[in-house]
Amino acid sequence: MKQILIFTAGFGEGHNTAARNIRDALEVVAGNEVKVQIIDLFDRCYGRLNEFLRRAYIAAINRTPRVWGKIYNVIDGTQFVETNMPMLTRFKRAMADLLRQFEPDAVISTYPLYGYVIDQVLPAGEPRTFTQITVVTDSITVNSIWYRCASDHFIVANDDTAAVLRAGGITDDRIHIFGFPVTHRFAEMVDHRFTSQDVGPKRVLYLINSGKKEAPSLVRRLSKRDDIRLTVTVGRDTALRRAIEAEVRVPGHRVEILGWTTKMPELLTSHHLVITKAGGATIQEAIAARTPVLISQVVPGQEEGNARLIVENDCGQLAPDPDSIVEALDDAFTRGGALLERWTQNVSKLSRPAASLQIARFILSLEVTEPNRKVLVPKIESARSTRKKSPSILLCDLHTHSVYSDGKLTVPELVDFYGQRGFDVLCVTDHICDYTKLIGRVTNLSGLVLTLDLVPEYFDILEKEKKRALDKYRMILMAGLEFNKDGLTKRSSAHLLAVDLKGPIDPGLSITRTIAEIHSQGALAIASHPHEFKTHWGKNTLYFWEHIDQYAPLLDAWEVANRDDIFNPIGLKRLPFVANSDFHKPKHIFSWKTVLFCEKDPEAIKQCIRVNRNVAITLYRDHRLGIGFSDLEPDSEKESEEAIVTFPGYSRKSA
Ligand code: ZN
Ligand code: ZN
CA–CA distance, 376 with 556 (Å, rounded to integer):
12
Output 584 or 574, whichever has higher pLDDT: 584
Distance 484 CA to ligand 2 centre (A): 7
Report the pLDDT value the prediction gives residue 167, as an integer from 0 to 100: 87
**Which-ligand-closest: CA of 529?**
2
Q: Considering only CA atoms, which of 556, 564, 602 is closest in space to residue 582?
A: 564
Residue 628 in 3-state DSSP? coil
| Sequence letter at residue 547 | H
User: Is residue 176 predicted with pLDDT exceeding 80?
Assistant: yes
Instruction: For residue 334, give the DSSP letter.
Output: S
Distance 651 CA to ligand 1 centre (A): 14
User: Is residue 561 predicted with pLDDT exceeding 90?
Assistant: yes
Cα angle 39-45-46, degrees, rounded to a multiple of 5 = 120
320-354 pLDDT, tens per residue?
Answer: 889 999 999 999 988 878 899 999 999 999 898 88
**Which-ligand-closest: CA of 430?**
1
| Sequence letter at residue 141 | T
- What are φ and ψ of residue 558, in 5° steps? -125, 145
At 386, the pLDDT band (50, 70, 90 cuts) reads very low
CA–CA distance, 587 with 632 (Å, rounded to integer):
5
User: Is residue 632 predicted with pLDDT exceeding 60?
Assistant: no
Q: Which domains does the chain have, with CATH numbers?
A: 2-184+355-365 (3.40.50.2000), 190-350 (3.40.50.2000), 391-626 (3.20.20.140), 627-655 (no CATH)
Distance 335 CA to ligand 1 centre (A): 84
Output 287 or 59, whichever has higher pLDDT: 287
Burial, 145: exposed, middle or buried (Cβ in 10 Å; 0-12, 13-18, 19+)? middle
**Which-ligand-closest: CA of 427?**
1
CA–CA distance, 170 with 183 (Å, rounded to integer):
27
Distance 474 CA to ligand 1 centre (A): 25
Distance 611 CA to ligand 2 centre (A): 24
Distance 3 CA to ligand 2 centre (A): 32
**Which-ligand-closest: CA of 402?**
1
Report the pLDDT value the prediction gives residue 542, as an integer from 0 to 100: 93
CA–CA distance, 555 with 527 (Å, rounded to integer):
7
Distance 425 CA to ligand 2 centre (A): 19
Residue 577 in 3-state DSSP? strand
Mean confidence (pLDDT) of the chain: 82
CA torsion, ordered 433, 437, 438, 441, to nearest 10 deg:
30
**Which-ligand-closest: CA of 581?**
1
Distance 539 CA to ligand 2 centre (A): 9
Evaluate whether 470 touches 476 at the Cβ level (below 8 Å). Answer: yes
CA–CA distance, 222 with 322 (Å, rounded to integer):
10
Q: Considering only CA atoms, which of 256, 223, 257 is closest in space to residue 238?
A: 257
**Which-ligand-closest: CA of 397?**
1
Burial, 266: exposed, middle or buried (Cβ in 10 Å; 0-12, 13-18, 19+)? middle
CA–CA distance, 84 with 78 (Å, rounded to integer):
11
Evaluate whether 11 touches 54 at the Cβ level (below 8 Å). Answer: yes
State the CB neighbour count (10 A cutoff) for residue 100.
18
Beta bridge partners of 525: 498
Q: Considering only CA atoms, which of 609, 387, 418, 421 is closest in space to residue 498?
A: 609
Distance 654 CA to ligand 1 centre (A): 7
State the CB neighbour count (10 A cutoff) for residue 250.
11
Evaluate whether 38 touches 70 at the Cβ level (below 8 Å). Answer: no
Residue 203 in 3-state DSSP? strand
**Which-ligand-closest: CA of 407?**
1
Give me the helices (H) in 31-170, please: 41-63, 65-77, 80-84, 89-102, 113-121, 159-167
Output 549 or 260, whichever has higher pLDDT: 260
Residue 495 in 3-state DSSP? strand
Which residues, other chains included, contact 64 with Cβ-Cβ below 8 Å and sequence gap of 6+?
A: none
Distance 529 CA to ligand 2 centre (A): 7
Distance 35 CA to ligand 2 centre (A): 33
202-244 pLDDT, tens per residue?
Answer: 899 999 987 788 899 899 888 888 888 999 999 888 899 999 8
**Interval 376-393 mean pLDDT:** 54
State the CB neighbour count (10 A cutoff) for residue 385.
16
**Which-ligand-closest: CA of 580?**
1
Distance 569 CA to ligand 1 centre (A): 20
CA torsion, ordered 293, 298, 301, 306, to nearest 10 deg:
0
Cα torsion angle, 220, 225, 227, 229, sign: positive
Report the pLDDT value the prediction gives residue 301, as an integer from 0 to 100: 65
Distance 540 CA to ligand 2 centre (A): 9
At 636, the pLDDT band (50, 70, 90 cuts) reads very low
Give the helix/strand (H/E) hosting 439. Answer: helix 438-445
Q: Considering only CA atoms, which of 9, 143, 134 is closest in space to residue 72?
A: 143
Q: How far apart are the first and last CA of the chain?
A: 37
CA–CA distance, 175 with 523 (Å, rounded to integer):
39
Evaluate whether 483 touches 498 at the Cβ level (below 8 Å). Answer: yes
- What are φ and ψ of residue 385, in 5° steps? -70, -10
At 625, the pLDDT band (50, 70, 90 cuts) reads low
Give me the helices (H) in 351-405, please: 355-365
Distance 495 CA to ligand 2 centre (A): 5
At 49, the pLDDT band (50, 70, 90 cuts) reads low
Distance 95 CA to ligand 2 centre (A): 30
Distance 481 CA to ligand 1 centre (A): 9
Beta bridge partners of 616: 595
Q: Considering only CA atoms, which of 457, 504, 499 is closest in space to residue 480?
A: 499
CA–CA distance, 615 with 596 (Å, rounded to integer):
5
Evaluate whether 310 touches 295 at the Cβ level (below 8 Å). Answer: yes
Distance 608 CA to ligand 1 centre (A): 22
Beta bridge partners of 232: 206, 257
477-488 pLDDT, tens per residue?
Answer: 999 999 999 888
At 645, the pLDDT band (50, 70, 90 cuts) reads very low
Distance 424 CA to ligand 2 centre (A): 22
Evaluate whether 203 touches 283 at the Cβ level (below 8 Å). Answer: no
Distance 8 CA to ligand 1 centre (A): 40
At 47, the pLDDT band (50, 70, 90 cuts) reads low
Distance 102 CA to ligand 1 centre (A): 28
Evaluate whether 337 touches 196 at the Cβ level (below 8 Å). Answer: yes
Measured in whole angstroms, the distance separating CA 133 from the mean position of its chain's CA atoms is 16
